[in-house]
Amino acid sequence: MTSTIIKNGTIVTADLTYKADIRIEDGVIAEIGPNLKGGTELDATGCYVMPGGIDPHTHLEMPFMGTYSADDFDSGTRAALAGGTTMVVDFALPNPGQSMLDALTMWDNKTSRAACDYSFHMAITWWGEQVFNEMETIVRDKGINTFKHFMAYKGALMVDDDEMFSSFQRCAELGALPLVHAENGDVVAQMQAKLMAEGNDGPEAHAYSRPPEVEGEATNRAIMIADMAGCPVYIVHTSCEQSHEAIRRARQKGMRVYGEPLIQHLTLDDSEYFNKDWDHAARRVMSPPFRSKAHQDSLWAGLASGSLQCVATDHCAFTTAQKRTGIGDFRKIPNGTGGLEDRLPMLWTFGVSTGRLTMNEFVAVTSTNIAKILNIYPKKGAILVGADADLVVWDPKRGKTITAGAQQSAIDYNVFEGKEVMGLPRFTLTRGQVAVEEGAIKSQEGHGRFVSRPPLTAPAKALSTWKELTAPRKVERTGIPASGV
Ligand SMILES: NC(=O)NCCC(=O)O
Ligand SMILES: [Zn+2]
Ligand SMILES: [Zn+2]
């Protein structure tokens, strides 16, 4: 058996910071302690050794808006590893009327070149008896405990309240967690049509058509529907105070609601859409759009105070040529931006280095919290004996200027172009295998494995116990007057 030892580093987890070495055997952490010896040694002097990042929100090779997102499981997972992320969770999207099991097979077929571990969320894109039945198979047999619901993209992926309430109730029965893209798709569609009719056809109109109110209303609605269905709910790409406020309020009332800001929304603002260069603005079109600095402050505060739990990327990268489909009609610009390679360095630079986050909070919001939410902790998101050796040896003195020319992503630009980041992986290890060393990519195509996620029994049981205790009950009465008297 070959061992790898990470020596002389400082271990940083979501709750502890301490000096120790780590021995890895057969892809898992075998020992943690001082002065470990033997095997291949990786020098972590001056570095922090942290659980590898988990990105809970990616769209690799996703069919969307008449095209496919440009990064697949090869370039996407390479980009992830280059930036210290060791697991991605992608979305399987059935076409309306399509079996979820067929969709899952289609998505499984995309993953043969994955260089890091991955899992799937399943999307609810239509509703019927077949969906109701297959949800059980997806949870019990396929290792997927999350179902995504789009309240936006009218006429495509969008589901209505009726469908969402039915699905959420099924999630409650199965111990599954609904995820929600919360934007009011009906309002967006009308605002888009109005803007176009007024001649507002550029990328800035994308932002005008999706104001924070559209997101706040939908977030609040999703949370209330989840509460009535008796299930927790996870709001993806929380971008604004209106949405954050709804999440915060619900959590204060004891509801199990989670919020996920993106690194893009934390660090880029809506001035990007007013750039005179059409390509520049269109490359940044995503939903929800970038917001003002006041909204960014709200998101940072939510991460520090614990009302928001995870930082993701929603990595859904389109080339400039793909974006140009929307010249003359902003509604046709494929929605999505990249970020997989940049999430950790950007969050470290603009979060930890500025004092907005502690190192432990950084680990929590990039890895541990989502591992717990998705029920894969401590296999992932932990530095404990027996955990997968998905690790990043983080060099706080290693820096770079982000540029598309040096990235792993297949697209021809980077929305963070020119940003100076300080803090990069010295090593990234995926199940003990070195995939990145001092900037050199050594990842292995096909190394990635599917990570099965069992039902969320603990929160589901707590919620169903409470719901049962507080359920409507008929009042038994004696001496009821005869009717009509
Ligand atoms: N976010 C975005 O604009 N594109 C990806 C699909 C989604 O998550 O809504
Ligand atoms: Zn979305
Ligand atoms: Zn997404």
Ligand 1, CB within 6 Å, residue ranges = 59, 181, 286-287, 314, 316, 335-336
Q: What is the Å distance from ligand 3's center to 467 Cα?
A: 31
Q: Are 228 and 355 in contact (CB under 8 A)?
A: no
Cα angle value 188/193/196 (rounded, 5°):
120
Instruction: Provide the residue type at 479 as one letter.
Output: G
CB neighbourhood size of 412 (10 A): 15
Do 40 and 279 meet the contact criterion of CB atoms below 8 Å apart? no
Strand ranges (E), 226-307: 233-235, 257-259
Residue nearest (by alpha carbon) to ligand 1 atom 2:
336
CA angle 316/320/326 to nearest 5° reads 90
pLDDT digits (tens, 9 = 90+) for 299-324: 999 999 999 999 999 999 999 999 99
- From CA 485, how far away is CA 482, in angstroms rounded? 6
- Taking the model in full, what pTM does it have? 0.96
In the chain, domain spans: 52-419+447-463
Q: Residue 468: what pLDDT?
A: 87
Q: What is the pLDDT of residue 461?
A: 82
Distance from Cα 55 to the centre of ligand 1, integer Å: 14
Could you give the ipTM of this predicted complex? 0.99
For residue 57, the ligand 1 atom closest to its alpha carbon is 8
Q: Report which of 280, 273, 272, 352 is spatially closest to residue 311, judged by C-alpha positions.
A: 352
Find all residues with CB under 8 Å of 341, minimum gap 6, and list them. Answer: 79, 80, 82, 83, 407, 408, 409
CATH code at 52-419+447-463: 3.20.20.140
Confidence of residue 467 (pLDDT cuts 50, 70, 90): confident
Question: Per-residue pLDDT tens for 90-105?
Answer: 999 999 999 999 999 9
Query: Count H helices, E strands: the chain?
Result: 16, 20
Please choose from 57, 215, 264, 316 the residue to mutate so as to test ligand 1's pocket, defined by most ligand atoms within 8 A of CB. Answer: 316
Is residue 13 over pLDDT 90? yes
| Best residue among 287, 313, 340 to mutate for probing ligand 1, ranked by most atoms within 8 Å of CB | 287
Residue 66: pLDDT over 70: yes
Q: Is the pLDDT of residue 108 over 90?
A: yes
H-helix or E-strand spanning residue 283: helix 278-283
Inform me whether the pLDDT recorded for 444 exceeds 90: yes
